[in-house]
Amino acid sequence: MSRLDPEGLERLVGQIARSQPPRRAPATLQARVLDAVARQDRRSAWTGGFDRWPAAARIAFAVLTLAAAVASARLPGLATPLAAVREFVFGLASAGALGHLIFETAVRALPAAWLCAAAAALVTLYAAVAALFSLTHRSLGRHS
Amino acid sequence: MNAAVEFADFVLAYQDTVFSTAARLLGDDAQAEDVAQEVFLRAYERFESLRDSPACGGWLKTVARHLALNHLSRYRRRWRMFSEVATADDGGEAQEFDVAVPDTLLRDLDEHERARRTEAALRALPEHQRVPLVLFHFEEMSYADIAAALGISLAKVKIDILRGRVALARALADLGAGERGTS
């Protein structure tokens, strides 16, 4: 037996660490990674944004969008659907104006402390829901 | 060679390195496998630039280290607390950092057995000693970088590593004595 002081101990552990070969990864790791990559590729083709869609899907989408734009500008038969869309947009705008009126009235009528409390509650709820969503997403991601 | 085959070869070439880093930091093979998978998924996203890069191995080790530490961070508060308690407990006593080890420690073993015992002794260390010790001796990080990565003081990093070395040497000596006793 020999006694080692801190310096001798540092040398000994350093020597052990340097001579230690890497751990051997489990035999299943490579297959597991390749499976995960394949799954990610399948998912990300549609959920990862337009730039990750398959080329054929991107071209088809662009052609269809262009065709729809040209058709809506040129075909008289589309006048009625276009008018319906316009009315829907105006309807939304009116609803927005009504909402604005109600909001203004509420702001004037309610005490400021209530409004502050409501805003704080809203922010807290938002943070709670966001945290819950993030937690769920992470845990689903880990198990998928 | 197509990209899928190239990536499969890439994983095969680096999986031991990545797994080692994660397993030694986490002390748990199943968690290390999860972390290694995540590292390779990130590598896949930038495979074009990584595959020919000479810094590829370093990048993989760094990501594995970050992910393993993130994985541990959920226990970080508890870990800090235990470490503080240990420091406080030892504070009033004479510090005993000398350790007696057999002269033949690990020398009379073949490479495989030496590696096995070292990994077992590392796994047996408490987390607050194993992590800084692995970062210093196996990942070759400086004390200052370890303190920054773990969010603890430099003094505490040094004391945890010192205690880790003592515990590792004792564990290796005990493992040797135990196995000699049973054989």
B12: domain CATH number?
Answer: 1.10.1740.10
**Using alpha carbons only, how large is chain B's radius of gyration in Å?**
19
* B30 shares its domain with B66: yes
Best CA proximity match to B3, nearest among B36, B45, B33: B45
In this prediction, residue B139 carries a pLDDT of 94
Which of B2, B10, B17, B20 to probe the A interface (max A CBs under 10 A)? B20
* B53 shares its domain with B140: no
* B25 shares its domain with B46: yes
Are B175 and B121 in contact, with CB atoms under 8 Å apart? Answer: yes
Regarding predicted confidence, which is higher, B104 or B157? Answer: B157
- Beta-carbon contacts of residue A25 (< 8 Å; ≥ 6 apart): B15, B16, B18, B19, B33, B36
Are B125 and B164 in contact, with CB atoms under 8 Å apart? Answer: yes
Instruction: Work out the average pLDDT over B162-168.
Output: 92
Buried b / exposed e over A27-36, threshold 16 CB at 10 Å, is eebbebbbeb
Give CA–CA dist B131/B135, Å, rounded.
6
Distance (Å) from the alpha carbon of A3 to chain B's nearest alpha carbon: 4
For the stretch B129-141, pLDDT in tens is: 999 999 999 999 9
Query: For B166, which of A1, A9, A21 is closest by C-beta distance?
Result: A9
Give CA–CA dist B65/B22, Å, rounded.
7
* B166 shares its domain with B81: yes
* B98 shares its domain with B147: yes
Give CA–CA dist B36/B15, Å, rounded.
7
| Last-in-domain residue among B24, B55, B72 | B72
For the stretch A55-99, pLDDT in tens is: 788 888 888 888 887 776 666 655 666 677 777 777 777 777 777
| For A3, nearest residue in chain B (alpha carbons) | B100
Residues in B closer than 8 angstroms to A35, CB to CB, are: none
* B105 shares its domain with B62: no
Q: To which residue do tokens 């001798």 refer?
A: A8
- Quote the number of domains for chain B: 2
In whole angstroms, how far apart are CA A52 and each of A55, A58, A59, A60, A64? Answer: 8, 9, 12, 14, 18
- The number of CA neighbours under 13 Å toward the Cβ of A67 is 6
Instruction: Work out the average pLDDT over A119-125.
Output: 91
pLDDT over 60 (residue B94) = no
* B121 shares its domain with B146: yes
Going by DSSP bridges, is the β-strand pair B99-101/A2-4 parallel, antiparallel, or unpaired?
Answer: antiparallel
Q: To which residue do tokens 């590292």 refer?
A: B39
- CA dihedral sign, ordered A118, A119, A122, A124: negative
- Check B33 against A29: CB less than 8 A apart: yes
- Check A29 against B7: CB less than 8 A apart: no
* B58 shares its domain with B121: no
